[in-house]
Amino acid sequence: MKAICEKVIPSSDCSWRFVKYEMPNIDFNWHYHPDYEICLTLNSKGLRYVGNSIEEYQEVDLVIIGPDMPHTWHSSSNEDSSIQTVYIAQIPKNWINGVVEQHPELALLKAMLQQSVQGIVYSQKVSLQAVDVFKKIETSPPFTRYVLLMSLLDMMNNDADAAVLSNNYYSAENKPEVDKLDKVINHIYQHYTESLCADELAELAHMSTNHFRRFFKKRTERTLTEFINQLRIGHACKLLINSNLPISVIGGRCGFSNVSNFNRRFLLLKSLTPSQFRQQVQAPSAVS
């Protein structure tokens, strides 16, 4: 699976990178890179993964992710087969940090850039404003793009409803441990609807089971069971929204051994049952 931001070709007359992707869906691709990244996702809904944060996103989603923070988005195709759009601005760390240091007018951006290593998600109001900015960037010459980028950063910085996504567990200094965690998370993502056990994952990370459990919770702030269940419930939400499958079938497809366990875990994470969730988001014709 290809990362949606890995094939960005830098323009010869710009200090930063801009790209627009149009696709039927967004594939899961857990990755990181040394740049700051501003990502605006349109006409798409699914799960957003930033560090140890796993959240549902819908329609218009604006996030900034700091250097070296693992992340990905994941969505299924839209029911009407419409195209999903992703705008990406990748800003080299040394360049933007240097610009901010050299210009007192930009000092107010310093705190936001520092906090972005945890990932920051922005309000719907600012996200919608960002749509217009990115559309202008798409058709503008380099100098105007630079001005628009600064305008976008200022707009984001002034969003009182912006929220941090992840704890800052990732850095270049602990890369060997992060490589182990990434390997485990990729394996979990590929197999979370199946039976998974700590012994198997500990072996993958070359750790004892007890050490692995402590390592995983320290790095993700979740137990292994909590992490897997969050993935399963996220997948269940997509099936409840986009299908008429019976709830018992959905629970089984998401890795739950019985419908009672599925209902209990769903209620714990969503504060409502699968039936109640479906009634809120789907037409009355859904089978529950």
Distances (CA, A) of 218 to 59, 77, 214, 225: 32, 34, 6, 14
Mean pLDDT of 125-147: 94
Radius of gyration of the chain (CA): 20
What confidence tens digit (pLDDT) does each residue in 99-114 have?
999 999 999 999 999 9
Quote the crossing angle between the two packed helices 224-242 and 209-220, to the nearest 10°: 60
Among 148-157, 173-182, 203-212, 258-267, the range scoring the smallest mean pLDDT is 173-182
Dihedral over Cα of 27, 95, 165, 151: its sign: negative
At 13 the pLDDT is 76
Give one DSSP letter per residue of 150-167, joined into a string.
HHHHHHHHT-TT-EE-S-
List pLDDT tens digits, range 242-253.
Answer: 788 999 999 999
Q: Tell me the C-alpha distance between 117 and 50, whole Å.
A: 10
Instruction: Assess whether pLDDT exceeds 80 at residue 167.
Output: no
- In DSSP terms, which residues pair with 85 in a beta bridge? 22, 42
All structural domains of the chain, each given as residue ranges with its CATH number in brackets, are: 17-164 (2.60.120.810), 172-281 (1.10.10.60)
Tell me how many helices (H) and strands (E) the chain has. Answer: 11, 7
Burial of 139 (0-12, 13-18, 19+ CB in 10 A): exposed
pTM of the entire structure? 0.67
* Dihedral (CA of 126, 131, 132, 134) sign: positive
Specify the 3-state DSSP secondary structure of 216.
helix
Distance CA 3, CA 7 (A): 8
Per-residue pLDDT reduced to its tens digit, 65-101: 998 888 889 888 888 889 999 999 999 999 999 999 9
